[in-house]
Structure 1
Amino acid sequence: MGKITGFLEFQRLQEAAEAAPERLKHYREFVLHLSDKEASQQGARCMDCGIPFCQSGCPVNNIIPDWNDLVYRGDWKLALATLHSTNNFPEFTGRVCPAPCEAACTLNINSDPVGIKSIEHAIIDKGWEMGWVLPQPPARKTGKSVAVVGSGPAGMACAQQLARAGHEVTVFEKNDRIGGLLRYGIPDFKMEKSHIDRRVEQMEAEGVVFRTGVFVGKDGQLSGISNWAKKSVSPAKLLEEFDAVVLTGGAEQPRDLPVPGRELKGVHFAMEFLPLQNKVVAGDKVTGQILATGRNVVVIGGGDTGSDCVGTSNRQGAKSVTQFEVMPQPPEQENKTLTWPYWPVKLRTSSSHEEGCERDWAVTTKGFKGDAKGNVKALVAARVEWQKDEASGQMKMVEVPGSEWEIPADLVLFAMGFVSPAAPVLDAFGVAKDGRGNAQAGTDGEGCYATSVPKVFAAGDMRRGQSLVVWAIREGRQCARAVDEFLMGASELPR
């Protein structure tokens, strides 16, 4: 694969990016894809390693060595077809995926891995530029109909696969635009929403019908839903009108922090903050937008959502941005002999962190203090240590005595992950849930992705809990095959 000696001759090349001072002035993407020559050279680094662990590290099992080799040899159109054979939306993953494939790359044992994500980014961007990404309507219709509830990456992948199999597919989305958490959870500077829009156009040409502003649940629940839904439809109606229903909503129940001062103004979940900026970028008029402008911002949570809050706060002109993580600071470099080919725990600095942020680890939040008007003004924090509990054998958080301190905070954003999907949807269908509140559905054997309710399937975050975009695409594709088998008795869709 690639050039036999390429991994010895060429170094890993990072994608070019606009300098931080300039990109902070806008919300557009600032990372550029590789040129044809650069991508070819990076593809040349792919080794003929015998067992391509990159493929097993990739949740959608991308055929990575093949399209690396094709890019090296300049056969971009076949590289695109190979990429699309396992991934419906490589422009999504090529921008926001953390690239577990690169952690599993054989070169990563003692060198820099192949820049798989950057090559994927280059392939799909070239495909759109050359007009190679076209609708693939089915040759025949089956006469079967499927309702997909939720239009995130799992729902979109599932809907596209089922439409291409010849089924009539309708996607229901409670928000005003298609895309789920891709649309309203990921800032535009990481992924512009035009990428979603043109996929929607492609899917409509393939026969998919999209219905936005529709909440699927019981009557009377709509008033309690924090979104832009205008009307609701009952599960009973969907089950009556469609031959199968697939639940693909996102994990939208955020983890809360019930400490003194939680009720103060200016303490918000990340998903109360991020979607509003996305709507502004889309050209909507937003009243009461939560803004970081001129404020001391504290982000609680060290993951990707926290990083997105950091980048958005800096673009809004925050006075200061601080990010706390309750876990200890991870090592800057993992012990590859112990972790490869698995995803390692190590210090990761995002582009948003590079733009300006104070980061601190092993910090717990004890409470918030406010002013006379009920606005948050300070966060009370303390240092913690993680010690092994002798009784249970598990690691336990212990506060360090005398380590308490205060930090100015005019805006506090909770980015501590999500605990479960939207319960009203699962409850409305009467679907059995697992111990974490997700839809209970297996992925192996007969009836995979099927819930406890006949004709109802579940995939993505709705089934497995909070996860990556690439996992959502995998689940959507596999669930589509399971639904196709359920409706037709057999399926030609790929697993």
Structure 2
Amino acid sequence: MADPKGFLTTARQEWPRRPVGERVRDWDEVYVPGALLPIVERQADRCMDCGVPFCHEACPLGNLIPDWNDLVSRADWHAAAERLHATNNFPEFTGRLCPAPCEAGCVLAINQPAVTIKNVEVAVADRIWADGLAPPRPPERLSGRTVAVVGSGPAGLAAAQQLTRAGHTVAVYERDDRPGGLLRYGIPDFKMEKAHLERRLGQLAAEGVRFRTSTEVGRDVGAAELRGRYDAVVLAVGATAWRDLDVPGRELAGIEQAMAYLPLANRVCAGDLAASPLSAARKHVVIVGGGDTGADCLGTAIREGAATVTQLDIYARPDASRDEETEPWPTYPKVHRLSPAHEEAGQLRTAPATGTGSDTDARLYAASTLRFDGDAAGHVRALHLTEVDAARRPLPGTERELPADLVLLALGFSGPDRTAGGLLDQLGVDLDERGVLARDDRFATNVPGVFATGDAARGQSLVVWAIAEGRATAAAVDRWLTGATELPSPITPHDRPMTV
């Protein structure tokens, strides 16, 4: 390590965010442009280069975190870029979107604030592009084998890039009009501007990846045709079967799924629409679901000019620090975190019904929806909720009503789309007991030559796991096609995040 005492002499300092009043008036990323590089070398100095770096275990990609921390502290950006790209195809995605389980596993985090690993990563990722350190890497020779990747989210893109670099001819099929999956139509621009995605897609195309957009396999192209045309098929279709809420009044107009709402805001930012048909402007908005998708809805509704926005979380408010008994280091703890959207909601007081505390951030905890009320036109006007105990049982006397012109359901996903007669039915692939694609130890489904990767097989997970899935699946496909592989395989299909 460059500074053996860096973790003792330098305090943790994160990439500063733009003032709330400024950033909610646009869709640009929330961080101050150019404010990371002046601090990141000193922050990298805080890495202890410990003998057993648990950040490696916490990261499914196996990122060489102490290596590139040391190189950044020495301002050797070229070498840091090589180390980062050795394990991660898309560090500018993970550096912006991953919740950083690596930081929870940082040895320094046992008794001090962790190293700002995520900030160092995104600094290297952005420097990679600024210094031209991400040229296309087309294969020297082609194998003569062809692969179809169905789905262009992070798992599909990672698999496509790895297989292309191994010499196979790869086509990526995407039912939307542009590739990117949830990175394109799901992640708001204030979390990741789409210019980062476009640069990577340009790199993949220059390496030889072929994109077939506005093409739904199972409808526009039959599954049998796809299997006949390609030597192998990789299913990276994501977990798009959203969970619903079965309570009285669910049929009312104005109650929408989060993933019907968020893509429209992305299309406004892309210039496809002048305004979203589901815009939250001047509406009382209630978001049901306390996860990241709900927070994305919160930040989006604020920028659209909602009258009020409240987010309901069925779980109790977490503590500010980890519970060493139930979630000891180095596991990723469930603690109270303040995302940029919650910071905005707190300062702007978007949800006065949540209370008057100084840390009010639009969230109502331990809250369960009972029913919806509608007006004479059949449009939602109110949501009735109750407080619940740890077993999610209603607490008598706690029922209350919130005004609601727009309700967004952000309750997670149960697995891939299982529309009757669709792709999965046509292929005849098996599902496991969780309702996701079943596969063996080599990422293969029960159908020869058909492999499954990402959320479609793992279940709803993080972007860092999706990229690891794509890399590992590419290695399995390469081995199946050629009998051997030199591609890295960072995880197995059965690996899971560290738990007690």
Q: CA deviation at 1:385?
A: 0.8
Q: CA deviation at 1:89?
A: 0.2
Distance 1:407 1:40 in 2: 48
Q: Deviations over 1:261-289 (max 9, x none)?
A: 11111100000100001011001036861
Distance 2:484 2:282 in 1: 59
Q: CA deviation at 1:30?
A: 2.2
Aligned to 1:373: 377
Aligned to 2:15: 15
Q: Deviations over 1:31-73 (max 9, x none)?
A: 1465444211111100031100001101111000000000011
Q: Deviations over 1:272-324 (max 9, x none)?
A: 10000101100103686101100110001111000000000000000001011
User: The residue matched to 1:125 in structure 2 has which SS?
Assistant: helix
The aligned amino acid for 2:99 is P
Q: How does 1:318-467 map to 2 (within 5 A)?
A: 318-336=306-324, 338-356=327-345, 357-386=361-390, 396-423=391-418, 424-442=422-440, 444=441, 448-467=442-461
Q: How does 1:61-210 map to 2 (within 5 A)?
A: 61-210=62-211
Cα RMSD for the two superposed structures: 1.2
- Check whether the contact 2:268–2:275 (CA below 8 A) recurs between aligned residues: no
- Check whether the contact 2:265–2:276 (CA below 8 A) recurs between aligned residues: no
Distance 1:115 1:187 in 2: 23
The aligned amino acid for 1:427 is D
Change beyond 3 A, Cα 1:288–1:313: closer
User: The residue matched to 1:485 in structure 2 has which SS?
Assistant: helix
Residue 260 of structure 2, aligned match among 261, 268, 272:
272
Q: Which runs of 5+ in 2 are unaligned?
A: 346-360, 490-500
Q: CA deviation at 1:402?
A: 2.3
Q: CA deviation at 1:258?
A: 1.1
Change beyond 3 A, Cα 1:18–1:417: same
Higher strand share: 1
Distance 1:288 1:341 in 2: 42
The aligned amino acid for 2:383 is L
Distance 1:178 1:2 in 2: 41
Aligned to 1:222: none
Q: How does 1:159-308 map to 2 (within 5 A)?
A: 159-217=160-218, 219=219, 232-285=220-273, 289-308=277-296
- Check whether the contact 2:239–2:416 (CA below 8 A) recurs between aligned residues: yes
The aligned amino acid for 2:135 is L
User: The residue matched to 1:171 in structure 2 has which SS?
Assistant: strand
Q: CA deviation at 1:198?
A: 1.1
The aligned amino acid for 1:482 is A
Q: CA deviation at 1:194?
A: 1.1
Q: Deviations over 1:50-101 (max 9, x none)?
A: 1000011011110000000000111100100100000000000010100000
- Check whether the contact 1:153–1:180 (CA below 8 A) recurs between aligned residues: yes
Q: CA deviation at 1:329?
A: 1.2
Q: Deviations over 1:320-342 (max 9, x none)?
A: 01011111111111134752000
The aligned amino acid for 1:209 is R
Q: CA deviation at 1:472?
A: 0.3
User: The residue matched to 1:181 in structure 2 has which SS?
Assistant: helix
The aligned amino acid for 1:18 is R
The aligned amino acid for 2:17 is A
Q: CA deviation at 1:397?
A: 2.1
Change beyond 3 A, Cα 1:35–1:20: closer
The aligned amino acid for 2:291 is G
- Check whether the contact 2:478–2:484 (CA below 8 A) recurs between aligned residues: yes
- Check whether the contact 1:94–1:117 (CA below 8 A) recurs between aligned residues: yes
1:482 paired with 2:476, answer yes
Quote the sequence identity (%): 52
Q: Which moved more, 1:34-43 or 1:271-280?
A: 34-43
User: The residue matched to 1:397 in structure 2 has which SS?
Assistant: coil
Q: CA deviation at 1:429?
A: 1.2
The aligned amino acid for 2:454 is G
The aligned amino acid for 1:248 is A
- With structure 1 as the length reference, what TM-score do the two structures score? 0.93
The aligned amino acid for 1:421 is P
The aligned amino acid for 1:178 is P
